[in-house]
Structure 1
């Protein structure tokens, strides 16, 4: 508990320091990592706790971005537009969950993956509302560029903290027990009286809520969105990689993975754009083969001995 208090205090000091002294580049990086934390933690509620390989993150992110952008364009205050976009996305996710959460394994993965493609086509076709392929201009917020950067950092950080707090609550509540039972053996969970479909839909809905809000804040942040950007399949893949990096199904894992992922993105991928997708694929393979429990597997053990033990592990 003492170390947790120290870490929280250090995080608050760092956050205040970023707001007070950070330039636009630093504030952009901090806002990006807060968005990544939100996406990874939200995905972990479904993909980590219940073991359902969801690829619907891009669909929820894009839907929230367009819902928030359209609300802002209609004159709705920014904060209300962001929250409304999250609620709208959650309602959509609830209906979608009842439709596809009876699927399992790769069937569910494929079903969730195509949702973003469907929404992208709808957005492209509904030109009168969304602007179609021309994109949508989102009204700028008032103030200087630096004050706007600070505002978006605060907004995205609040959503990230809310997602982490919700994840902790779910993990300790009956919902978390139900989701972890589903991950272990869904049929056995049904036998002992767990309403598995209800638990999955609630987890799916809560996950989409935070992703939708993050998408709406992103739309206001960049002030221009188009279907190919906010429905990009990489938005479904990146949160999974972040969770894999830190440890799937854990509380701190997705948070750690988001920071590590951003570091890799800035230090490596920016210098090799032509090999970006290839490196992403190699990273996934390496994580699955050599570090399936994420960086959390190295905690409390010598790093070299841990890596050696992982290398000696026989494949299942």
Structure 2
């Protein structure tokens, strides 16, 4: 309990320090890690709690970005546009979930992966509404560049906090119990009376709501979006890697993974830009082979025990 309070206090102090002293570059990194944490926590609700390997994050992010951007262009107040984008994304995810959540394993993974491609093609083709491949210019927020950077950091940080609280609430609710049962054995969960379809769709919708709002905030933050950017497949892959890095199915794991991933990503971008694409694949392989429980697992058995285990495995 004291450790959690200490971590929470440290995060609050760090946030206040960023707002008071952080330059635009530092604020950009902080906003990015908050967005990453939101996406990873949201993915974990489906992929971690229920064990369904969703690749629909890019679809929900892009849909939220365009919904929020178009609402802003139409004159809707910015916060209302973000919320509306999240609700629209959740409604879409509910319909999508009813259509594909009967699939399991790699069939579900492939089905969810295709959605982003379909939405990207629709967005590219619907030029009169979205601007097509030319993209969409989102209205600028008033104020100086520094003020805007602080506003979007606060917005994304609050969303990340909301995502974490929603994740905790779901985990401790009947929905969380149902999702955990589905992850263990879906057929057995049905036998004991759990409405697995309803639980999966509810988790899917909650996850997409958070991702959709993140996409809308991102659109306002960067002021310009295009289909190749907001429907990029990497937006589906990165949250999975972050969850793997921190610990899939845990509450704090995706947040830990988001911080660790951003650090690794910045290191790769600065020193070996051409290696960035292969970095994701190599990282997944290394995590599966050497750290299947994520960084959170090190807390339980200690770093020395983990290193000893690696050395023992390499000698076999």
TM-score by length of 2: 0.97
* Counterpart for residue 28 of structure 1: 28
* Counterpart for residue 252 of structure 1: 252
Give the drift of 1:272. Answer: 1.0
* Counterpart for residue 85 of structure 1: 85
- Answer with 249-258 or 268-277: which moved more: 268-277
Give the drift of 1:131. Answer: 0.1
* Counterpart for residue 174 of structure 1: 174
Give the drift of 1:301. Answer: 3.0
* Counterpart for residue 111 of structure 2: 111
Structure 1 gaps of 5+ residues are none
* Counterpart for residue 233 of structure 2: 233
Give the distance between the partners of 2:239 and 2:215, measured in 1 at CA. Answer: 14
* Counterpart for residue 122 of structure 2: 122
Structure 2 gaps of 5+ residues are none
Offset from partner CA, 1:107-140 (integer Å, 9 cap, x none): 0000000000000000000000000000000000
Offset from partner CA, 1:74-108 (integer Å, 9 cap, x none): 00010000000000000000000000000000000
* Counterpart for residue 161 of structure 1: 161
Q: Does structure 2 retain, via aligned residues, the 8 Å contact 1:136–1:226?
A: yes
Q: Does structure 1 retain, via aligned residues, the 8 Å contact 2:53–2:105?
A: yes
Offset from partner CA, 1:270-298 (integer Å, 9 cap, x none): 32111111121111001011111101111
Aligned alpha-carbon RMSD (Å): 1.1
Q: Does structure 1 retain, via aligned residues, the 8 Å contact 2:38–2:163?
A: yes
Runs ≥4 residues deviating over 6 A? none
- What is the 5 A alignment of 1:1-316? 1-310=1-310, 312=312
Q: Does structure 2 retain, via aligned residues, the 8 Å contact 1:124–1:130?
A: yes
CA 1:5–1:264 in structure 2 vs 1: closer, same or farther (change >3 Å)?
Answer: same
Give the distance between the partners of 1:279 and 1:226, measured in 2 at CA. Answer: 24
Q: Does structure 2 retain, via aligned residues, the 8 Å contact 1:56–1:115?
A: yes
